[in-house]
Structure 1
Amino acid sequence: MSLPLNSTTEQQYQSILERAIAFTLCTIPACVFLFVNCTMLFTLRSKAVFRVTCRYILLFNLLFADTVHLVLCQVLFLLSACGIRLTYPVCGTLTILANFTNVAAPLTLMVMSLERYVAVCFALRHATIVTIRNTRLAVAAVWTICSLHDTLRVILVLDFPFEDLESLQMNDVCSDLTMWLGSRSKTYDNVFTGLLFVSAAAVIILSYTGVIIAARSASTGKASALKACNTLMLHLVQLCLILSATIYSPMLLALRKIVTHVVFSRLHRFLYVLMILFPRCLSSLIYGLRDQAIRPLLLGHLCCRLKRKTVAVSG
């Protein structure tokens, strides 16, 4: 009788140990990325020139959306790693907020690409087209579209007959897939995601093509056009990384059916860092290290905060 008891105790210990390792390995990178993102956000608010320059306003909006999305994704991942099951209302709230910030990123990239296109192809009119007022209107439009999208998602979810359920407690861990209640909700989400990324890719590619054509003309500065082309290519890479995050949940659902629980847990942690955490930190690194105005301030703030933490720990 003691053998099964010891075996059960050992299995429970291994399960707790695996969850602790998963928590550590995924929480530490998330905290590092959040630290970098928050420092970047602070840097963009540390000088007046960043607060009144249109492209920096758009960059702040992109980083803010990425940072909030990263926090929400980390919360959902830890709940999943710990096997904590939520109620449908709580899970729905978390997934809708995560989707809200996720949609803002490709929309902001579209606006940023158009701003670079105007800066190169309509350089003389750039100051009159890309104004502070128009930039704020564009940011407001981005969040309005996100709000409308989430409102429709809530309406479709509420159409599900919850009264037929014995309890609002979920039978599975909280994720975006578990909140696809009904075929209409799944169809709408797939169609919207497809249209969003096709539209964003089209805008970025067309902007890149327009800049390339302008760069070949004698009236356009070669250096500024080349820099704009590089920036637009980075926008396209960012869009692809964000798109990879949208296939994260379906990929996990497929893997769960073909691999063992132990293998799935390891793949879950690896894919989470690769497809969710890593893309959301790239914006800070790409823009913070490339931009000559931001880089010294960002590095200064990062080094200053690290020194303060070191002094505090040693003290």
Structure 2
Amino acid sequence: MFTSNPRYILFIHLVINDMMQLLLSTLLHIISYALHRINVSLCLVLLIITIMTTLNTPLNLAGMAVECYIAICIPLRHRQICTIRRTYILIVLIWVASAASILPDLFILLATEPLQFFHSRHFCARDFVFRSNYSLKKRDASHIVCLALVWLVLLYAYFRILFAAKEATADFRKARNTILLHGFQLLLCMLIYVRPMFEQGLILILPNEFLAIRFACYVIVQILPRFVSPVVYGLRDQTFRRYFMLIRDTYTTAFVKNLIVVLVWITLSYINSTLVATFFRHQTFYEDPRYILFIHMVINDAIQLTVTITLFVLSYIFYKINVSFCCFFILVAVFTTRNTPVNLASMAIERYIAICEPLRHSQICTVRRTYIVIGWIWFICVAPDITDLFVTLATESLSFFHESVFCLRQNVFKDPILAYKRQAFDIIYFSCVFLILVFTYLRIMFAARALSTEKMSAQRARNTILLHGAQLAMCMLSYISPSVEVVLHLIFPGRILEIRYANYLIVYILPRFLSPIIYGVRDKKFRKHFKMYLLSNRLRFRAVDPRNK
């Protein structure tokens, strides 16, 4: 039904485009804080796609306004004018128009800058990469032209819709409110055309608030319009809402759930990228096995969080995805989820050796052996679960991998033997990791109490161990979460969606919040370098303030 309706085709193109734009603009925002400067070639790729998707939104909304105008004001000719083929041609033209706005800047850059510029590192913002005066003037001119054209299209289309709705229906208030919401979103999206001039004007008025102005403009122009699209075109559309509710959660519940997990991903991605940047900027961490294992866990958790949140969001957007893609996502998520408790157990052993066998620590825990341990962690976690793929390849027909399924492990790896194997290995992993943790942390606790001459030192050591234990206990829930989910489903048969969501937050999200606190903020050495990095980062932001040029 939706694939044969031009309005919904344009709507879903808008949603996919906004997802790409939000992902890339957020990535650039995080990179600007975590790494500050990146390779110009990589920056160009990210910037061009971000700019194109940003420019696409108001053009797409203008196209939707024209389609809505034809449907209400010329209903007898709507099917002849708004065909599926013409809708896809319009989408292609939207991308061509956006590309025509930014690609000339790339050609000017290639013609005017030396080759070494593309191998250098710069702050990744449009004004700092496309530095030609002609590019800046062309950008302002093209923005004014687009602003005028889109504004005229919207004013004409929506006023005609407003008058037609007033004459044709008694429910005038609802039509008027819908049009006002459309207009509000379109005004927000059209701010992209005036953002550079508006930002420069604010900097002249408030010269000491450069960072605050850039952040406020980023939120208002890049993020806020993306929150309005689902409300205007999803929640208020009766047909779309009815089909959406038949498939899964209510629209409001789905929106809130996805909003929570995406905000969590953005927050943790920023924290993790800052921790990784701090590690790689200081040679002292390269030679300490503890910090090598810690940064491996941070990178592993970042991959795990990205993959699981991608799966979570995809389950609401597409519901079913291709089996081959699902297999890849599931295996990466399973491998990285299993890695975390085993990595923490390895860190517990390293701490045990450092405190209980301090004289032999430098001999046992070498950098080379640490990397070997990381290799073994991956082997131990990959080997049992990769067999699920081999069994599925042997038992399922080739056509199965071209089908679409709701992406759950049990929907892809369906052989009953695999379920029993998974339970057996979960019990083995749970028992081994639990015994290692109990042994090492009790020995560390007793050693810390015996060696501490002050009561506060012993209390701090005990609190740190308790925090470690809490995180490890939550990570180990991944071994028993399938069984717990089944039991809760039997107790609360009508609450399977809520059970899965709570299980997802507790097992996959919450432990990732504790890692930076336990191993980053509480560690004096890492905290010192972390603060230095944040301070230097802030000073570098001051350095790119245009007032200093």
Identify the TM-score tier after normalising by the shorter chain: 0.7 to 0.9
Where does residue 242 of structure 2 map in the other structure?
A: 11
The correspondence of residues 161-172 of structure 1 with structure 2, limited to 5 A, is: 161-162=396-397, 168-171=402-405
Where does residue 432 of structure 2 map in the other structure?
A: 199
Q: Deviations over 1:106-138 (max 9, x none)?
A: 111121111111111111111111111221221
Partners of 1:211 and 1:225 within 8 A in 2: no
Partners of 2:254 and 2:316 within 8 A in 1: yes
DSSP 3-state at the match of 2:321: coil
DSSP 3-state at the match of 1:159: helix
Where does residue 283 of structure 1 map in the other structure?
A: 515
Deviation at 1:189, TM superposition (A): 1.2
The correspondence of residues 101-250 of structure 1 with structure 2, limited to 5 A, is: 101-162=336-397, 168-171=402-405, 173-215=406-448, 220=451, 230-248=463-481
Distance 2:302 2:520 in 1: 15
Q: How has the CA–CA distance of structure 1 residues 182 and 13 changed in structure 2, closer, same or farther, with 3 Å as cutoff? A: closer
CA root-mean-square deviation: 3.5
Pick from 303, 325, 330: which aligns with 1:68?
A: 303
Identity of aligned residues (%): 23
AA matched with 2:521: L
AA matched with 1:112: M
Partners of 1:288 and 1:294 within 8 A in 2: yes
Distance 1:310 1:249 in 2: 50
Q: How has the CA–CA distance of structure 1 residues 133 and 231 changed in structure 2, closer, same or farther, with 3 Å as cutoff? A: farther
AA matched with 1:87: N
Q: How has the CA–CA distance of structure 1 residues 195 and 175 changed in structure 2, closer, same or farther, with 3 Å as cutoff? A: same
Distance 1:254 1:170 in 2: 28
Where does residue 274 of structure 1 map in the other structure?
A: 506
Where does residue 293 of structure 1 map in the other structure?
A: 525
Distance 2:536 2:251 in 1: 37
Q: How has the CA–CA distance of structure 1 residues 136 and 93 changed in structure 2, closer, same or farther, with 3 Å as cutoff? A: same
Distance 1:243 1:89 in 2: 28
Deviation at 1:143, TM superposition (A): 1.6
1:52 aligns with 2:287: yes
Deviation at 1:70, TM superposition (A): 0.6
Distance 2:535 2:376 in 1: 36
Deviation at 1:158, TM superposition (A): 2.2
AA matched with 1:91: C
Q: Deviations over 1:243-284 (max 9, x none)?
A: 234555555566667455xx6555554543333222122101
Equivalenced residue count is 304
AA matched with 2:508: I
DSSP 3-state at the match of 1:101: helix
Distance 1:214 1:24 in 2: 45
Partners of 1:106 and 1:197 within 8 A in 2: no
Distance 1:150 1:309 in 2: 45
Deviation at 1:305, TM superposition (A): 6.2
Partners of 2:324 and 2:401 within 8 A in 1: no
Partners of 1:252 and 1:268 within 8 A in 2: yes
Q: How has the CA–CA distance of structure 1 residues 213 and 297 changed in structure 2, closer, same or farther, with 3 Å as cutoff? A: closer
Runs (4+) off by over 4 Å = 6-10, 12-18, 220-232, 246-260, 263-271, 299-312
Deviation at 1:71, TM superposition (A): 0.7
Deviation at 1:103, TM superposition (A): 1.6
Deviation at 1:236, TM superposition (A): 2.5
Partners of 1:54 and 1:135 within 8 A in 2: yes
Q: Provide TM-score, normalisation by structure 1.
A: 0.81
Partners of 2:489 and 2:499 within 8 A in 1: no
Where does residue 3 of structure 1 map in the other structure?
A: none
Higher RCO (Cα < 8 Å, 6 or more apart): 1
Q: How has the CA–CA distance of structure 1 residues 273 and 308 changed in structure 2, closer, same or farther, with 3 Å as cutoff? A: farther
DSSP 3-state at the match of 1:86: strand
1:20 aligns with 2:255: yes
Q: Deviations over 1:13-49 (max 9, x none)?
A: 7755544333222211111112111211221222111
Distance 2:312 2:401 in 1: 23
Which sections of structure 2, spanning at least 5 residues, go unmatched?
1-236
Q: Provide TM-score, normalisation by structure 2.
A: 0.49
AA matched with 2:380: I
AA matched with 2:327: G
DSSP 3-state at the match of 2:395: coil
Distance 2:244 2:445 in 1: 60
Deviation at 1:299, TM superposition (A): 4.4
AA matched with 1:276: Y
Answer with 283-292 or 152-161: which moved more.
Answer: 152-161
Where does residue 277 of structure 2 map in the other structure?
A: 42
Q: How has the CA–CA distance of structure 1 residues 230 and 85 changed in structure 2, closer, same or farther, with 3 Å as cutoff? A: same
Deviation at 1:225, TM superposition (A): 7.6
Deviation at 1:82, TM superposition (A): 2.2
Where does residue 264 of structure 2 map in the other structure?
A: 29
Q: Deviations over 1:276-307 (max 9, x none)?
A: 22212210122111001122433454577689
DSSP 3-state at the match of 1:181: coil
Distance 1:139 1:241 in 2: 21
1:96 aligns with 2:328: no
Q: How has the CA–CA distance of structure 1 residues 81 and 148 changed in structure 2, closer, same or farther, with 3 Å as cutoff? A: same
Which sections of structure 1, spanning at least 5 residues, go unmatched?
1-5
Distance 2:346 2:243 in 1: 51
